[in-house]
Chains A and B, each alone.
Chain A
Amino acid sequence: MKRFFCLLLSLLLGLLVSADPDYKELLNLQPLNPASLLASFNFWSKASLQSYEQQHFKYIPRSLGQILQHAKTRELHLRFSTGRWDDESWGARPWGGTKEGGTGVELWAWVEADSDSGSFARWVTLNNALSGLFCASLNFIDSTRTTRPRMTFEPTSSVSNTSSENMYLLHGTLPREVVCTENLTPFLKLLPCKGKAGIASLLDGHKLFDASWQSMAIDVRSVCSEDGSECSIEMEQTVDMVLDVDRSKRPRDNPIPRPIPSEHLHCDISKPYASNEACFPSDADLGQSWTIAEIFGRPIQGSCLSEDSQGQLRDSVCINVPLDREVNPYGDAVETKNEAGSGRCFAIPASKPFEMVLSHIGPQTFNDISQPPLYASRSFTGHGQERGGVQTLLTNPSRTSSIEFVYFETLPWFMKPYLHTLDARLSTSSTSSPEIIKETFYRPALDRRRGTQLELLVSVPAASTVVLTYDFDKAILRYTEYPPDANRGFDVAPAVIRLLPVEGQAEVYIRTSSLLLPLPTPDFSMPYNVIILTSTVMALAFGMIFNLLVRRFVGADEVEGWNLAALKAKARGRAMALLDRVLRKGKEKKVQ
């Protein structure tokens, strides 16, 4: 016992000595040409696995930690995204695409279980709990939206090998989910400073969901040291957004865009019609000048737990502009410049607000954006209510090297692809080249139980475009399976592309945009129409047979016609009798 305590103590001491803090946060601002700004918020926290398992929570939030423990989840990746990343003008994705998800909600996790069915039960538990925590419809990730990818995802946890046998990877998407403020609020609550201090104070639903593209990510994983003696659990929360600078700078109380007065207009003089009368507004060389408060609506409220045990401040904000651009910080921030000359960082004291101005004075230069390793776009082809097709264009921009990647698609069960029509060809040739698809993993759909899972190992030669196509049939749904707005169409989850890591390079993920699949939609008053029509036919048949059986048939001249006069007389007689009776009764009463 004593020995154990000694060990514990030494461990604790070791933890204290190690420079790795339990929590850090960093905001990376990257101006993108011409008038966009990429803001990457990153929050990282850690706890020892032992305290986590004993439910002593500090910077790992209790609400999420308990859910993960309850569902025996060892690693979790949750993504909320809206918008589309514009490869052409914004370049490569932040974090190599590892911290973004497809449009809507995407979730994948490694769950510990004894069997496939056991892992699915825990997966459902996890989804239901997360759904409550993040106010998202995650509980709708059922068996039809769940897949078990083989090649696309690798665990980032370094767990010992013995336990990894019982790990099951499950992946689910909700492309239809609209991400909004109600998802951001619980996201912020998970942070130790809850958006009250530090860079998280800039996160505001009005700005975040007004962005051209945004992605919120939560990653939880466990990390062990080399010898496996010391394990810890790490949680990383990331928010990336691309803001339109002009749009963000509009004052909040007067958000309607107004025409720029002509004297402030910058004209593109290279146009042939450029003159005093005609002006083609140019924003290409306008550059950017803004302050944090202009873009985000408020300055940064100090920093959150940025002081390490020696009282040193960590960097909180970094801006990636060439060093010859003028950047003016306000507040007692400590500035450090990047050796490569591509940016500078600021360490902010705990309780002072921080403001930074990217000046319009001086050269308006940007850092070069890096080229993405692959361009991917996906669209529908096909015709009619029944026949459909999918076409994906995969372009390798590199002039020298070919590229190899995993292409992963999950299709809903009502979209029935024909694998024999799967065809990959170079855009320059009209015949298919079988060497492009190297491996195929295909799991066909089962109606109402399982979606299609398609994983392809694809190789694209240098400086060429591959066209990947396949055909599918659209199934007809049952009356109750249509959503309330059935005519809008059905969302098909984005395809995930994982570029296999080349020597010395990190993994890169790319996601295509989601697709909207129109299905044949019935008229929803149909059941009543059917009931009435069938009933009418049945009643007609019945009436005919019944009358044939029951009625007596006589000659036309033998039928007694309606004697109207007699009827009238009879009715009058009845009425008189009734009146008479009433009158008599009244009289009798009077007499009495």
Chain B
Amino acid sequence: MAQDIGTGSEDANFKMASRPATAPKQPPPESSKSIKTRGLVILSFWAVVVFLGLPVWLWTTSIYRASLPLQDMLDWADGKVFVPNSNAARHALNVLQACKPTFPLQIAIEAPFLQEVEAAHLVRMTQHALDDLNEFSAHHLRLRLKKTFLSQDPQNASMAVTEDEYAAGYLKDYGATDGMDVEALTVRLQPKTGAQAARAELQSHSAKLDVFYASNQAPSVSSSSSTLATFIAGKLQELFAEEQAIIAYILQSAQTMGQASQIALSASSTPRELRPRFHRSLNPELAAKMDSRMTRSLKYAPTYHITVSLFTPSATPSSWEIESALAEYFTPLLDSISGVSNFTVDTQVQLYAAFSPSVQSPEYDTEQQTWTLREEDLSGFINAAEWPLSPSIGAGPTLNFVLYVPDRSTSPLVVKGSRASSWLIPQWGGVVILNPQDTNATSSEATLSKESIQPALLTFSHQLLSFLGAPQTPPSLPLQIQTLTRLRAASLLLSASSTMGSLARLTVALPSIAIPETVSSAVDTTLMHLRTTCDSLKGGKFRDALENARIAEIQAEKGFFEKSMVGQVYFPDEHKIAVYLPLLGPVGVPLLMSALKELRRLWASRKIRQPG
């Protein structure tokens, strides 16, 4: 400061000396003290602006953004692709958490008629054969010999006891396990005299595979290969082929999506050749098939609403015995899937339901003596404008099952070409055309009996399974439901992860979006449950995995669709100018000019002092 004063006075002296003598009168020289005061005044004004005004302005206009673990979230979305590059240290934590969904399936082998050593040998060989067959490492079958008390004592009576035990039903057993998963499948080996080759039978109401083999096929301990082992391995592989394909497809599509978004988002230097090894490439036709399956099936939800509707273009039939029919043909299925999702069912009757004008009215096919609907009209069959098929109230998507009873004048009604009378509308529901069975049954015209609805309800059951994403094979329902558990856990895991990624990208892309604390906690919960899901999958606890994945998904959605994030604070520029300019203009200009003047003076005085 002392220097400043010095230069100030020098400057004043210099100016006085250099002033031309022609000027009539000069103002008296300014004292160094007043120059110093002026400098201090300007400085203090600026100090107020910079240290008080600016922080207050920033503080009052700032948006609260809770901190999110962005890198973690993006990593989950990218399927935890570990990048072994220079900043590996930074990722060290993530590597520890890296998740690679695996599906180890326990399969029990019961061989009550074999010696324990023999049986163990057979299991080992079958496992080898299986491992050779399996080319998809994420999904693998682990065989385990189940020690039955029969192994030493092959008696038919005892055998019957075990059968009864198992006949009690897998479903109950399955529902009762708390977290600990039982075997995915039990293989029972039974010798059958007189059989030439081994034969396998899958029980359709329990997760059991009966293998009957000729007694000469029983492997000896010494032999290194066995036709029976190969046969069992092949059979098992066949049973789980579709599930493997679906899981592979889900993983792959998630991967490609993650990569696509990554490419789109930023030119990050992730080396893409380092894909996880489970990425078995699918052959195109299988992929196409899977594609159509996936677009058809609904997004997972803990609760689905099912609406069964009766539509008819005239006033009859105006009632149906739906309550008893549902209880008999539909509810058992829903009960058995309740481990995966819950369902609510409602029904309605709608009379005078006309086609939408875009649909061509049915044509009469004289050859077949039927009325036909064109196939291209099926997509517009549901008259969305007039038929009251609004979604049910409450959380969860609604599945619509429409039973359409055509007018007597246009029945029987079928689809042209395929002559089908039912079809699916992807992610929406199913339609069944119920043609009146008998044209002369006039007495029961107003009411549809339970028996006449039965075929339609069975069709709806099939459609429901495919909407849930259950595989067509194997034909055993418990196995299908188990598969469904695994598939849902996997797809939920992936979808929650990708939601995390989207949320992370969103917060980066929109700096003006507010992030409340609830989002941050939702993200934390999601990540925690994702980790647990991954561990449960590895441990083969698929029900636990589904439970955790479900919570993760709900939390992820909650975070992403947080209400206060949607409403962004938005002030258009002209608005800002209109508010700020009237004050900042008249105040800012004198402040700025004085600061410039002062700076110029300082600069000039320094310049003079340096040569001197």
The chain A residues found within 8 Å of chain B, CB to CB, are: 51, 54-59, 61-63, 66-67, 70, 129, 189, 192-194, 196-197, 304-305, 350, 528, 531-532, 535-536, 538-540, 542-543, 546-547, 549-550, 552, 554-555, 557-558, 560
Which residues of the partner chain A approach B282 to less than 8 Å between Cβ atoms? none
Does A193 lie within 8 Å of B30, measured CB to CB?
Answer: no
Which residues of the partner chain A approach B590 to less than 8 Å between Cβ atoms? 542-543, 546-547
Known: A196-B354, A531-B582. A61 touches B315 (CB 8 A): no
Does A56 lie within 8 Å of B346, measured CB to CB?
Answer: yes
Does B393 lie within 8 Å of A57, measured CB to CB?
Answer: no
**What's the nearest-Cβ distance from chain B to residue A300, in Å?**
15
Choose from A189, A304, A305, A539 the contact partner of B587 (Cβ within 8 Å). Answer: A539
Choose from A59, A547, A552, A560 the contact partner of B34 (Cβ within 8 Å). Answer: A552
User: Given A57-B349, A528-B578, A558-B27, list of 16 further CB < 8 A pairs?
Assistant: A51-B323, A63-B388, A66-B346, A67-B393, A70-B394, A193-B352, A197-B315, A350-B315, A538-B587, A539-B587, A542-B590, A550-B38, A550-B594, A552-B27, A557-B24, A557-B25
Does A58 lie within 8 Å of B348, measured CB to CB?
Answer: yes
Choose from B34, B41, B352 the contact partner of A197 (Cβ within 8 Å). Answer: B352
Does B392 lie within 8 Å of A66, measured CB to CB?
Answer: yes
Which residues of the partner chain A approach B390 to less than 8 Å between Cβ atoms? 63
A59 to B421 alpha-carbon distance, docked (Å): 27
CB-nearest residue of chain A relative to B390?
A63
Cβ-based interface call for B347 (8 A) = yes
Instruction: Please give me the 7 A-B residue pairs with the lowest Cβ-Cβ distance, nearest first.
Output: A539-B586, A55-B346, A535-B582, A554-B27, A535-B583, A196-B352, A558-B27
A539 to B179 alpha-carbon distance, docked (Å): 72
Known: A62-B307, A194-B352, A528-B578. A558 touches B393 (CB 8 A): no
**Which of B315, B392, B585 lies at the interface centre, i.e. has the most chain A CB atoms within 10 A of its CB?**
B315
CB-nearest residue of chain B relative to A301?
B352
Cβ-based interface call for B579 (8 A) = yes
Known: A70-B394, A535-B586, A542-B586. A550 touches B388 (CB 8 A): no
A540 to B392 alpha-carbon distance, docked (Å): 64
A304 to B318 alpha-carbon distance, docked (Å): 11
Which residues of the partner chain A approach B345 to less than 8 Å between Cβ atoms? 55
Choose from B38, B348, B582, B591 the contact partner of A536 (Cβ within 8 Å). Answer: B582
Chain B residues 311-327 with CB under 8 Å of chain A are 315, 318-319, 322-323
A58 to B346 alpha-carbon distance, docked (Å): 11
Does B323 lie within 8 Å of A56, measured CB to CB?
Answer: yes
CB-nearest residue of chain B relative to A533?
B582
Known: A54-B323, A350-B315. A550 touches B41 (CB 8 A): yes
A-B pairs with beta carbons under 8 Å apart, 8 shown: A56-B347, A58-B348, A192-B351, A194-B351, A197-B352, A305-B318, A542-B590, A558-B25
Cβ-based interface call for B23 (8 A) = yes
Which residues of the partner chain A approach B388 to less than 8 Å between Cβ atoms? 61-63, 189
Chain B residues 562-595 with CB under 8 Å of chain A are 578-579, 582-583, 585-587, 590-591, 594
Choose from A56, A70, A192, A546 the contact partner of B591 (Cβ within 8 Å). Answer: A546
Name the interface size band of chain B.
35 or more
**Which of A55, A129, A197 lies at the interface centre, i.e. has the most chain B CB atoms within 10 A of its CB?**
A55
Known: A62-B388, A554-B27, A558-B26. A542 touches B587 (CB 8 A): yes
Cβ-based interface call for B344 (8 A) = yes
A259 to B65 alpha-carbon distance, docked (Å): 72
A2 to B24 alpha-carbon distance, docked (Å): 126
Does A531 lie within 8 Å of B591, measured CB to CB?
Answer: no
Cβ-based interface call for B166 (8 A) = no
A70 to B354 alpha-carbon distance, docked (Å): 29
Does A531 lie within 8 Å of B594, measured CB to CB?
Answer: no
Cβ-based interface call for B88 (8 A) = no
Which residues of the partner chain B approach A70 to less than 8 Å between Cβ atoms? 393-394
Cβ-based interface call for B42 (8 A) = yes
Cβ-based interface call for B45 (8 A) = yes
A192 to B349 alpha-carbon distance, docked (Å): 8
A54 to B319 alpha-carbon distance, docked (Å): 16
Does B322 lie within 8 Å of A56, measured CB to CB?
Answer: yes
A70 to B344 alpha-carbon distance, docked (Å): 13
A147 to B587 alpha-carbon distance, docked (Å): 52
CB-nearest residue of chain A relative to B353?
A194
Which residues of the partner chain A approach B25 to less than 8 Å between Cβ atoms? 555, 557-558
Which residues of the partner chain A approach B386 to less than 8 Å between Cβ atoms? 189, 194
CB-nearest residue of chain B relative to A194?
B352
Does A560 lie within 8 Å of B41, measured CB to CB?
Answer: no
A197 to B315 alpha-carbon distance, docked (Å): 9
Does B393 lie within 8 Å of A543, measured CB to CB?
Answer: no
Choose from A61, A192, A555 the contact partner of B27 (Cβ within 8 Å). Answer: A555
A259 to B473 alpha-carbon distance, docked (Å): 80
